Structure 1
Amino acid sequence: MKPNPKKVPLDFDPVAEVSRLKAQTKAIRKRNYSQRKSALDNYHGEIIILLANGATATEVHRWLRELEVKVSLSTVTRWIKKHG
């Protein structure tokens, strides 16, 4: 659909509009590289104690499911590697 030049407002500045839109796009796409919080971080102390008392990653995963924390076993094992 072609724009109708007769309906363009007189104060319309296309260069300024494109510049504003590009700045907006840059702000939207900017990545946040801060450390993301894991659902398991809320249970850090309990998980460490369970591991110290001989629990396996599978048992920790089962315990978390009983608490209705929905994470996969691979998430638990990665978290243990990083924090345990």
Structure 2
Amino acid sequence: EGPPGPDPAPAPAAAGIDSRPLRTTTSPPGRPDPPRIPDHLSPSEAAEAREILDALARTRYSRPDAARLLGISRTTLWRKMKQYGL
């Protein structure tokens, strides 16, 4: 047998790296991002909007359940969501 041949070429450094683009959102694929609180709201409106978003997230975006959790009617929840741009 002759002398050993050259070592096989090393695998590219990125061989095990997923080249798909990174997701920059926190929502699962196929779901929209959660609503953001608009900048134009006053501090008290922003606080109420955060409470609404928290209640919606805790109830998996069930508006009737979120309204119940907040102690308001579904109509009031809908009106506040519209008012705050949620």
Pairwise TM-score range, normalised by the shorter structure:
0.3 to 0.5
TM-score norm. by structure 1 comes to: 0.34
TM-score norm. by structure 2 comes to: 0.34
Q: Give 1 or 2: higher helix fraction.
A: 1
